[in-house]
C-alpha cells in the first residue's frame, strides 16, 4: 500500500484519512481518543495517524545498521508526512592503537553499537517522536530510557525468528527450547 499526503482537494477518498493536527493536543488526549477504524490499520499507518494527531512535525528513527534498506524505505514513506532524522545504532571508531571495550581488545577500527550516542543525536535534533526499528533488546531499552521524546517500536530485532518474536509463541520454537507442551 502506498501512503500519500492527505488530500488537499476533493480528490477520491483513500483508505488513510489523517486529521489535521489541533493546537493543544497532547499524547494522552490522542491515545484516549482512539478511533474504531484504527483497528484496521497497519502499525506504520497507526504511527502516522497518532503522530499527526499529536501535531508531530519531526520524527526520529533509531535503527539497526543491518536494517538500512528498510530504514531508507521507512524514511521515504515518512517524508510524505514529517521531517525525518535517521540515526543508525553503529558508529565507527578508529584510533592509532587498539582499544578496550567491555574488557575485550578490539582492532584499530571497529563498529560499535552506541545507543547513548543514538539517543543523544535524536534528543539534539528535537524530534517530537522516536521510532525504534530492529534494535537489540539492550539498545531498545536504553533508547527508551534516555530519549526525551516518546518512543514507539515499529519492529523488534529477533535474529532467531526473522524479526517475528511472536512466531516462537505460535510455533514450536519455545516449546522445544523450554520443554513445554502445546496448549499449556
Q: Is the dihedral of CA 39, 40, 44, 45 positive or negative?
A: negative
Domain 57-178 fold: Rossmann fold (3.40.50)
CB burial of residue 67 (10 Å; 0-12, 13-18, 19+): buried
Distance (Å, rounded) from C-alpha 50 to C-alpha 39? 13
Task: Cite the DSSP H helix spans in the chain.
Answer: 27-32, 43-53, 68-78, 115-124, 137-146, 166-170, 173-178
Distance (Å, rounded) from C-alpha 173 to C-alpha 184? 14
pLDDT in 10s for each residue of the chain, 184 residues: 555 555 444 434 444 454 554 555 566 566 656 665 667 888 999 899 889 988 999 999 999 988 999 999 999 999 999 999 999 987 544 444 444 544 555 444 445 678 888 999 999 999 999 999 999 888 999 999 999 999 999 998 888 777 777 777 777 777 777 777 766 5
What's the predicted TM-score (pTM) here?
A: 0.69
Letter string b/e over residues 108-122, b meaning 16 or more CB atoms within 10 A of that residue's CB = eebeebbbeebbebb
Domain ranges of the chain: 57-178
User: Is 128 within 8 Å of 149 (Cβ atoms)?
Assistant: yes
Distance (Å, rounded) from C-alpha 118 to C-alpha 139? 9
Amino acid at each position: 500500500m502506498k501512503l500519500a499526503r492527505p488530500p488537499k482537494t476533493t480528490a477520491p477518498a483513500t483508505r488513510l484519512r489523517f486529521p489535521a493536527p489541533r493546537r493543544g493536543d497532547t499524547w494522552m488526549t490522542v491515545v484516549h481518543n482512539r478511533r474504531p477504524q484504527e483497528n484496521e490499520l497497519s502499525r506504520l499507518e497507526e504511527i502516522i495517524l497518532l503522530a499527526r494527531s499529536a501535531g508531530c512535525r519531526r520524527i526520529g528513527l533509531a535503527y539497526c545498521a543491518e536494517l538500512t534498506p528498510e530504514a531508507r524505505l521507512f524514511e521515504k514513506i515518512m517524508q510524505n508526512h514529517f521531517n525525518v532524522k535517521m540515526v543508525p545504532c553503529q558508529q565507527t571508531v578508529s584510533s592509532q592503537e587498539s582499544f578496550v571495550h567491555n574488557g575485550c581488545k578490539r582492532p584499530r577500527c571497529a563498529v560499535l553499537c552506541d545507543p547513548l550516542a543514538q539517543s543523544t543525536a535524536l534528543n539534539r535534533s528535537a524530534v517530537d517522536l522516536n521510532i525504534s526499528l530492529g534494535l537489540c533488546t539492550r539498545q531498545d531499552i536504553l533508547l527508551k530510557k534516555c530519549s526525551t521524546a516518546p518512543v514507539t517500536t515499529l519492529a523488534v530485532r529477533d535474529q532467531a525468528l526473522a524479526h517475528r518474536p511472536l512466531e516462537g509463541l505460535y510455533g514450536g520454537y519455545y516449546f522445544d527450547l523450554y520443554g513445554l507442551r502445546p496448549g499449556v
